[in-house]
Amino acid sequence: MNYEALLHEHTLKATPQRLGILSLMHTNGHISIDELFEQIKKQFHSISLATLYKNINAMSETALITEVKIPNMKSKYEIAKERHAHLLCDKCGEFKDISLDIDKLIRLTEAKSKYKLNDTSLIFSGLCEKCK
Amino acid sequence: MNYEALLHEHTLKATPQRLGILSLMHTNGHISIDELFEQIKKQFHSISLATLYKNINAMSETALITEVKIPNMKSKYEIAKERHAHLLCDKCGEFKDISLDIDKLIRLTEAKSKYKLNDTSLIFSGLCEKCK
DNA sequence: TTACTAAAGGATAATAATTATCCTTTAAGA
DNA sequence: TCTTAAAGGATAATTATTATCCTTTAGTAA
């Protein structure tokens, strides 16, 4: 993926730190601030935690990345993508995407509620195939 | 509702402060820490913020209340109840429960994922009937 | 290329949010 | 009543996040 272009599309400068952050987010899938700081320091020995926060905020505000709030644990961040739900294993902590017909779910809920819906946050938790 | 008994069932003492918190949670439906502190102070002039946090934690740990994490805003707390989803109006901020066949959704997702699921966090956002 | 400038980085102070501590008070049961 | 573990209040400590200020650099244009 060309993160330099992606940053530019979101009117953000493509700095080495940001490319590093996006790369880590990509390889990890979902990552918390703490994990991110831990890992990014390996590449950028003197990176400031403030820089990390500023970048997370800048990229969130421009919707390049998304914060995923999870019950009973710290938020994780992911590169923005098409609508999807998440699966969490309460035992091993595996956290991953699952695609699901969210449009249908939205249509159903709109009918029931009279709301005009445009987004969802949907997290399932339980035990993964290995842990169950 | 008999909150005194409810607290006892969760092995917690039924203090006036806790009864006040639960009462506010009930009348508000969902309430943030800040709103709660704001309101509870009217009844308990000298209540400490630490007491509020301690009680929120104690009642969360015993699953008497539930924290609802919402994208882009502060958490709200509600008295625990049967599985349900939430609707958020991005314009006026209305936040309410909606009942939905979550069991069915879980069964569907289990089939697709091989997970054994037992819980969900599901929030829809958009515009309410008035705001749309 | 070089030069310019707004944006971004780093260090650190400030603020906000949450938790811990310590001592006093009280709910609940004997 | 009496006893005591649990809870409350005040406040300190810790953690998380944001703001500030000065330096560096990415991006653009001469």
Q: Number of residue pairs across A and B with CB atoms under 8 Å?
A: 104
Residues A4-27 have a mean pLDDT of 98
| Confidence band, pLDDT 50/70/90 cuts, at residue A51 | very high
Closest residue in chain B to residue A107, using alpha carbons only:
B124
- Whether the CB of A126 is below 8 Å from some CB of chain B: the reply is yes
Instruction: Determine the pLDDT at residue A1.
Output: 80
B57 touches strand C (CB under 7 A): yes
pLDDT of residue A29: 96
Rounding to the nearest 10 degrees, give the CA dihedral for residues B4, B53, B58, A91: 140
CATH 3.30.1490.190 for domain B85-126, yes or no, is yes
B87/chain A closest Cα distance in angstroms: 8
Give me the mean pLDDT over the A71-93 stretch: 97
As a whole number, mean pLDDT of residues A14-19 equals 98
Q: Is the pLDDT of residue A33 over 90?
A: yes
Domain edges within chain A: 3-79, 85-126
> What Rg value do the Cα atoms of chain A yield, rounded?
17
> Which among B113, B95, B74 has a CA at the least distance from the CA of B29?
B95
Which of chain D's bases lie under 7 Å from a protein CB? 6-12, 16-20, 25-27
- The ipTM value here is 0.93
Quote the CA–CA distance of B62 and B64 in Å, as a whole number. 6
What's chain B's length in residues? 132
Q: Which one-letter amino acid corresponds to residue A31?
A: I
Residue B22: both structure tokens together: 């639960």
Within 7 Å: CB of B68 and strand C?
Answer: no
Which residues 106-125 of A interface with strand D at a CB distance below 7 A?
none
Q: In which band, very low, low, confident or very high, does the pLDDT at A28 lie, cut at 50, 70 and 90?
A: very high
Count of beta carbons in the 10 Å neighbourhood of residue A14: 15
In strand C, which positions have an atom below 7 A from any protein CB? Answer: 7-13, 18-21, 26-29
Mean pLDDT of A91-97: 97
Question: In sequence order, what are the beta bridge partners of A87?
Answer: A96, A124
**Predicted confidence (pLDDT) at residue A57 exceeds the cutoff of 90:** yes
pLDDT of residue A86: 98
Classified by CATH at the fold level, domain B3-79 comes out as Arc Repressor Mutant, subunit A (1.10.10)
Structure tokens at A59: 């990229």
Q: Mean of the per-residue pLDDT values for chain A?
A: 97
pLDDT of residue B48: 98
Whether any strand D atom is under 7 angstroms from the Cβ of A7: the reply reads: yes
Tell me, what's the pLDDT at A126?
Answer: 98
**pLDDT band at residue A54, thresholds of 50, 70 and 90?**
very high
Nearest C-alpha neighbor of B91 from the set A63, A86, A117: A117
Contacts (Cβ under 8 Å, ≥6 apart) of A118: A106, B125, B126
A87 has a chain B CB within 8 A of its CB: yes
Question: Regarding predicted confidence, which is higher, B1 or A92?
Answer: A92
* Structural contact between residues B68 and B30, judged by C-beta atoms closer than 8 angstroms: yes
**What is the per-residue pLDDT across B10-19, written as a single tens digit (0 to 9) for each?**
999 999 999 9
Positions of chain B with pLDDT under 50: none
Q: Which SS3 state, helix, strand or coil, does residue B6 take?
A: helix
Output the pLDDT for position B63: 98
Query: Minimal CA–CA distance to A106: which of B13, B122, B47, B62?
Result: B122
Cα-Cα-Cα-Cα torsion A40, A43, A45, A49, nearest 10 degrees, comes to: -20
User: What are the angstrom distances between the C-alpha of B88 and each of A65, A109, A118, B83, B107?
Assistant: 21, 12, 11, 17, 25
